[in-house]
Amino acid sequence: MELSYLVPAIIIVVAAFIVYTYNRLVGLRNMADTAYSNIDTMLQKRFDLVPNLVETVKGYMRHEQELLDKITRARTDWLKASTMGENAEADNLAAGALKSIFAVAENYPDLKANQNFLMLQEELVGIENKIAYARQRFNRTIMVLNTVIERFPTNLIANLFGFKIREFFEVESEQVRNTPQVEMQGGNES
Amino acid sequence: MDPIISHIASNKRRTFFFFFLYAIMFALIGYISGLYMGNPIFGFVIAAIIFCIIFLISYYGGRNVVASMAGAREVSKAQEPFLYNTVEALSVAAGKPMPKVYIMETDVPNAFAAGRNPDQAIVAVTRGLLNRMNRQELEGVIAHEMAHIANYDVLLATVAVVLAGAIVYASVILRRMAIFGGGGRRSGQSNIIGIVFLIVVAIIAPLFAQLLRFAISRQREYLADATAADYTGYPEGLASALEKISTMQVARSPLDNQALNGLYIVNPALGASALNKMSAMFSTHPPAEDRIRRLRAM
C-alpha cells in the first residue's frame, strides 16, 4: 500500500528534476549565445573603426608603420576568422596593437590635439572595455554551463539531450584584473 | 536559494505590499470623507479613481517622475560619450539591456538609478561626479547602479518614492485648501478637507516616512556594492569613488530632497559627515566608511 504511493511520488520527483535541469541548460545555452553575439557585435564595431583610425594616425606616426600594419593585420585576420579560437586570436592581436598605438600617441602632441583622433580614442577605449566585459560575461556563463553538464546527476540529463561542454573565449595576456571572491549575503548588518 | 533571486523576490513582494497598503489607506480616506458628505460610496469611488491614477503613474511613469524630481535630463551618446560608453560597458557586464542615461547639472558628486525593471531603467549622475571620477571610479559607481537595476531595487525604490511623494504633495495642497477655505462660507466642505488633512498629516505622512525607510534598506547597499565589485572585478574603483563622493557632500546640498535621498549612492542630506559613523543614525545608508572597508577586504 505504501509502495503504491511511493512509486508515483518518485516518478514525479524525477520528472520534475529532468524538466528543471533541461530548462536550466537551455537557459544557460541561450545566455551564452547572447553573450557571444555581444562580443561579436563589439568586435565588429571595433574593426569598423580601424581603417578610420589608421587613416587619421598615419600622417602623424611616420615611424610606427609596424604598429599600423599590426592592427590592419588583426582586422584581416578577424575578417577571415571562422572559429571562436581565431576570433579570440584576432581580438588579442588588435587589443595589444591598439594599446600600443594609444601609448605611443602620447609622444605626438599634434596628434593629441586632433579632435578626430580624440573622438576615435574615446570610442575605441570604450569598445575595448565593452569587449572585456562581454568576454567576462561569456566566460562566466560557459563556466556555469560546463559545471552543470559535467556534474552528477545533472550530467545524465545533459548527456541525454546532447548538451556539450563549450570552450572559453580565451585571451592569454589578459589577466589584468583578477576577479575577487564576493560574498553575496553582505554580512550581518541588522 | 540564490541570495540574489530571493532578494529580487523580496523586492517584488515589498512593492506589492506598498501598493496594497496604499490602496487600503485610500479606501479609508475615501470612505470617511464620503461619510461626512453623506455618501460613503461616492467618496470610495473617487478615492479608487485617484488611487488608480497614482498607481499607473508610479508604476509606468515612475522613472520620469523621479528624474524630473531630481532635475535630471536625458543625454545621448554624442553629448556624453565617456559616460554613455561606461554605462553601456556595465550593462554588458551585468547582462542587462542598456538603461537610459541622465545628467543632473550640479557640482556635488552623486548618482542614482530608477525604473520598474531592467528593461525600463535609467541611470543618472551629476556633472560633479563626471568631472571628478576617473574611468575605474566611474565604472564602480555605474556598476553599483546597474546592480540596483539587476536586483530590482529600483522597482521598490521608484514606486516608494512616487507614492510617498504623492502623500507629501497632497498634504501641501490640503494645507493650502484648509487655510484658504478656513474662513468658509461653506463650512461643511472645509470641514471635510480639514479632516482629511488631519488624517494625512497626523497619521499617514509619518507612517510613510517610516515605510520609505523600511523599503530602502541598508542591506541593499551592501549587496549592490558586492555585485558591483563582481561586475567590474575591481572593488577598489568603487571604494575610491565612495571615498571621494562621501567627503564631497555639502551642507544644504542642492540634491537634498527627503523623498529622494534614499535613492542616491551616498545620502546627500548628510553633508560632509557621510563618511563616518554619524550617518549610522540615518538608516537609509550604512556609513560609507564601512562600505569602503568591506570593498577593500574583498
Enumerate domains of chain A plus CATH numbers. Answer: 10-177 (1.20.1440.20)
Q: How far apart are CA B170 and CA B272, in angstroms?
A: 32
- Within its chain, how far is the Cα of B89 from the centroid? 24
**Helix and strand counts by DSSP (H, E) for chain A:** 6, 0
How high is the pLDDT of residue B173? Answer: 73
Q: How far apart are CA B295 and CA A180, in angstroms?
A: 10
Tell me: do B144 and B232 sit in the same domain.
yes
**Other residues' Cβ atoms within 10 Å of the Cβ of residue A91:** 26
Last residue of a domain, one of B177, B195, B215: B215
Tell me: do B94 and B172 sit in the same domain.
no
A123, A131, A189, A190, best to mutate vs chain B, most B CBs in 10 Å: A189
Q: What is the pLDDT along chain A (190 residues), one digit of tens a residue?
A: 567 888 999 999 999 999 999 999 999 999 999 989 989 999 999 999 999 998 888 888 877 888 888 899 999 999 988 888 888 888 888 988 898 889 888 888 888 888 889 989 999 999 998 999 999 999 999 999 999 999 988 899 999 899 998 888 876 544 444 444 444 443 333 3
**Helix and strand counts by DSSP (H, E) for chain B:** 12, 4
> Can you give the CATH number for the domain in which B247 is found?
3.30.2010.10
Q: Which helix (H) or strand (E) holds B125?
A: strand B121-126
**Left, alpha or beta for A92 (phi > 0: left; psi -120 to 50: alpha)?**
alpha
Tell me: do B83 and B148 sit in the same domain.
yes
How high is the pLDDT of residue A12? Answer: 94
Q: Is B2 helix (H, G, I), strand (E, B) or coil?
A: coil
More confident: B83 or B249: B83
Residue B148's pLDDT band (cuts 50, 70, 90): very high
Tell me: do B105 and B185 sit in the same domain.
no
For A95, the grid coordinates are 587589443
- Does ipTM top 0.85? no
CB–CB of A122 and B92 under 8 A?
A: no
Tell me: do B140 and B251 sit in the same domain.
yes
Q: How far apart are CA B17 and CA B23, in angstroms?
A: 10
How high is the pLDDT of residue B99? Answer: 96
Contact predicate A129/A39, CB 8 Å: no
Residue B226, chain A, CB below 8 Å: the answer is: yes
- Per the prediction, chain B carries an average pLDDT of 83
Tell me: do B12 and B150 sit in the same domain.
no
Last residue of a domain, one of B215, B232, B266: B215
Provide the shortest C-alpha distance from residue B7 to chain A (in Å): 10
More confident: B79 or B214: B79
Q: How far apart are CA B219 and CA B75, in angstroms?
A: 31
What pTM was computed for the model?
0.81
Tell me: do B88 and B36 sit in the same domain.
no
CB–CB of A186 and B88 under 8 A?
A: no
From chain B, pick out residues whose CB is under 8 angstroms from the CB of A186. Answer: 219, 222-223, 225-226
Q: How far apart are CA B21 and CA B34, in angstroms?
A: 20
How high is the pLDDT of residue A185? Answer: 41
Tell me: do B59 and B43 sit in the same domain.
yes
Q: Flag whether pLDDT at B167 surpasses 70.
A: yes
Last residue of a domain, one of B167, B185, B215: B215
How high is the pLDDT of residue B240? Answer: 95
B289 is catalytic: no
Instruction: Return the residue matching grid coordinates 500500500.
Output: A1
Q: How far is CA A58 from CA A104, A113, A120, A147, in A?
A: 12, 15, 14, 48
Residue B123 DSSP class: E
Tell me: do B76 and B147 sit in the same domain.
yes
- Classify burial at A173, counting beta carbons within 10 Å of its beta carbon; exposed 0-12, middle 13-18, buried 19 or more: exposed
Residue B6, chain A, CB below 8 Å: the answer is: no
Q: How far apart are CA A118 and CA A125, in angstroms?
A: 10
Q: Which residues of A touch B (CB under 8 A)?
A: 31, 34-35, 38, 42, 119, 122-123, 125-127, 129-130, 132-134, 136-137, 177-187, 189
Which of A48-62, B175-189, B196-210, B227-241 is predicted least confidently? B175-189
Tell me: do B108 and B127 sit in the same domain.
yes
More confident: B259 or A7: A7
Q: Flag whether pLDDT at B18 surpasses 90.
A: no
Provide mean pLDDT across the span B91-99. Answer: 92
Tell me: do B45 and B165 sit in the same domain.
yes
More confident: A182 or B58: B58
Tell me: do B114 and B166 sit in the same domain.
no
Report how many domains make up chain B.
2
Residue B232, chain A, CB below 8 Å: the answer is: yes
Question: From edge to edge, which strands make up the β-sheet containing B100-104?
Answer: B72-74, B100-104, B121-126, B111-115
Give me the phi and psi of B204, to 5 degrees please: -80, -40
Q: How far apart are CA B112 and CA B263, in angstroms?
A: 6
Catalytic residue among B137, B139, B145, B221: B145
For A23, the grid coordinates are 530548462
Which domain does B15 fall in, by range? 3-65+156-215
Provide mean pLDDT across the span B220-236. Answer: 91
